[in-house]
A = this chain, B = another copy of it.
Amino acid sequence: MTFLDALNHAWRRHDSLVCVGLDPEPAKFPAALRDRPDAIFEFCRAIVDATADLVCCFKPQIAHFAAHAAEGALERLIAHVHAAHPGVPVILDAKRGDIGSTAQQYAAEAFDRYGADAVTANPYLGRDSVQPFLDRADKGVILLCRTSNPGARDLQDLTVRNADGIERTLYQHVAETVARDWNANGNCALVVGATYPEELADVRRRVGDLPLLVPGVGAQGGDVAAVVKNGATASGGGLIISSSRAILYAGNGEDFADAARKAALQLRDEINRVRSKAEG
């Protein structure tokens, strides 16, 4: 099954657009867990098992593992999701991008070593830099478009003119280029931050039903109603709404996994209320 098929199934089966971002920060773990030798894996596995029926996918962020030399924990975590919760795809949030043979190595890292179902990638180096990802038709390739941080303005909001004299912002150019040219295998999606709802609406108008990965609700302050209204497809879907810290660290006691489940449930239901209003 391709990433997009799995995502479509999970969206429907769990009636959920929620993606739980797995950004482990040991300093924020419950005290009883923090100093255990395999704390990163145990924490993330508990979150996964507590929320798997409420989400459309999981998104481990690789830097949070790499900074702690915990690649092994990441390998086991992704294998655990696939074994214990079949049908819930895993996006490896790595924002990779390089050229030629190195791009091949990054594809091998994400898909062969870690077994991820999709990966986030950076478009700055151009199409050939992501071609090894795009060529894996069963895998998802989620390209940075308009990110949720203030610095997104520095490059992404610049007005650009292409060879045909058409003017638009750089992120609009990326959105259209990916939807029109890079999506030949039908395996592309875009990252658009929740904190800029007008930009989200603008991207949605340009890319049809292409899935959008939307980080920035929760700790970063993006508004859920605005995200759904501005980002959803005509049928009320097409969104992977990602929350990390607000779910992972909803509690810091022994009941952290229960607290995470409540936070994920609350987010799912809040999203679905807006969706049903939009349909009604």
Partner of A158, one of B69, B106, B162: B162
Segment at the B interface, from A122-130, A200-208, A230-238, A270-278: A122-130
Copies of this chain present: 2
**Distance from A6 Cβ to chain B, minimum over Cβ atoms (Å):** 24
Within 8 A of B (CB), among A124-147: 124-129, 144, 147
Segment at the B interface, from A50-58, A148-156, A257-265: A148-156
A63 touches B105 (CB 8 A): yes
Q: A interface, how many residues as a size bin?
A: 35 or more
A124 touches B150 (CB 8 A): no
A23 touches B124 (CB 8 A): no
A152 touches B173 (CB 8 A): no
A125 touches B152 (CB 8 A): yes
Q: What is A's interface to B at a CB cutoff of 8 Å?
A: 23, 25, 61, 63-64, 66-69, 71, 75, 95-102, 105-106, 108-109, 112-113, 122-129, 144, 147-156, 158-162, 170, 173-174, 177, 220, 245
Given A25-B101, A127-B151; 12 other pairs, CB 8 A cutoff: A23-B102, A61-B102, A63-B105, A63-B109, A95-B96, A100-B149, A126-B149, A126-B150, A126-B151, A126-B156, A158-B173, A159-B160
